[in-house]
Structure 1
């Protein structure tokens, strides 16, 4: 119950912040930025912002590799929230985290989609892609420009904080996934994964054994 209250509090607090407390939204600049990203006009986009936008997608994929298995055993399936998170980021994800019940089992067959999500190759691809994004943003990014936009633009500000929440909340689903694979009793391993933002969970995807059917 405390977990659910905490998650709903985070969700409501983030919504209030984005709607009423964040820097003003610049509709034209935001639409232009999204158009440039989605039409591959990347040369005119700050690499920090481009990397951050792509890392949000990595986070959604990371959660999908865990929660589509979890959703199989829940009253509410995960896929509507996965679709919502593509458009709204962490705002679409947190309600599922708050509504789901603790679940350490998986039954049934893995279809082709679940096979891909369960594959260590998927984890390795996401890890290498993330390392490339981090290197690209750190080396080539204009961090002064990013800081200015973070402080003055609601979209950049909210996207940045959403990325932090994605990283912060992953431990809420990590324990159950480890238990489904027989590793929850190793608390040191749990904290080793949980306390390294993003890269710890990605390393877990590369290492975790496939679920048995």
Structure 2
């Protein structure tokens, strides 16, 4: 009950802050999103390009946890996972509030679950995460990024969404490890501490699910 209350409070606080206290929308936000979505990146800060693309990797990484978790829940995970591709933690948090602890997996292992459990998918997400973060670190204009974070609601909220998705990893990680009989506090701590790369590395190397 305490877990649910804390997550619900966090969700409400995020919504209220994003729409009530974050910097205002800029007139060119729609054009920026269009250019980011269509690969027209020549005149955009590489740090923003990387962040935008990393926000596409987070939902895929969470899908590899939540779709498996949702098979044992009274509330299905897939609508929240699908919505998180466009709205990130805004849609993922309600699932985390509604779900129950679920440290077991009894099957069946459907095609979707097999894909979510795939090490090759985890490896693809890990490589993409490392490349994008390296690109941001090497080529990003961080003074410009900070200035845009302070003045643009889109950049501001997207950055907070990234941090919130990082913060929420332990809420599904513990049960996923338990379903695999994988108890390791060091791994849990490292995966939780390293943003996105930690989770995608876990998805790459975690033991496979046992239907039995």
**Structures share a fold, TM > 0.5?**
yes
Question: What does residue 103 of structure 1 align with?
Answer: 102
Off by >6 Å, runs of 4+ in structure 1 = none
Instruction: Kindly indicate whether residue 89 of structure 2 is the aligned counterpart of residue 118 of structure 1.
Output: no
Question: What does residue 3 of structure 2 align with?
Answer: 3
CA contact (8 A) 2:182 2:207 kept: no
- State the TM-score, normalizing by the size of structure 1: 0.95
Question: What does residue 20 of structure 1 align with?
Answer: 20
- State the TM-score, normalizing by the size of structure 2: 0.95
Measure the CA separation in 2 of the matches of 1:93 and 1:192.
22
CA displacement at 1:37 relative to structure 2: 1.5
Residue 203 of structure 1 is aligned with which of 201, 204, 211?
201
Instruction: Kindly indicate whether residue 173 of structure 2 is the aligned counterpart of residue 174 of structure 1.
Output: yes
Measure the CA separation in 2 of the matches of 1:128 and 1:83.
22
For residues 32-55 of structure 1, what are the alpha-carbon distances to aligned partners after superposition, in whole Å with 9 as ceiling and x for unaligned?
011101222121221111110111
Aligned residues: 211
1:1-213 matches, cutoff 5 A = 1-26=1-26, 28-184=27-183, 186-213=184-211
For residues 86-131 of structure 1, what are the alpha-carbon distances to aligned partners after superposition, in whole Å with 9 as ceiling and x for unaligned?
2211101100011100001122222222222111111111111001
Measure the CA separation in 1 of the matches of 2:116 and 2:132.
21
Q: Secondary structure at the match of 2:28?
A: helix
Q: Secondary structure at the match of 2:3?
A: helix
Residue 163 to residue 182, structure 1, CA distance change in 2 (3 Å): same
Q: Secondary structure at the match of 1:61?
A: helix
CA displacement at 1:143 relative to structure 2: 1.1
Q: Secondary structure at the match of 1:44?
A: coil
Structure 2: runs of 5 or more not aligned: none
Q: Which stretch of the first structure deviates more once superposed, 32-41 or 108-117?
A: 108-117
Measure the CA separation in 2 of the matches of 1:57 and 1:11.
20
For residues 58-95 of structure 1, what are the alpha-carbon distances to aligned partners after superposition, in whole Å with 9 as ceiling and x for unaligned?
11111100110011110111111012212211101100
Measure the CA separation in 2 of the matches of 1:194 and 1:140.
26
Structure 1: runs of 5 or more not aligned: none
Measure the CA separation in 2 of the matches of 1:196 and 1:166.
12
Measure the CA separation in 1 of the matches of 2:130 and 2:107.
34
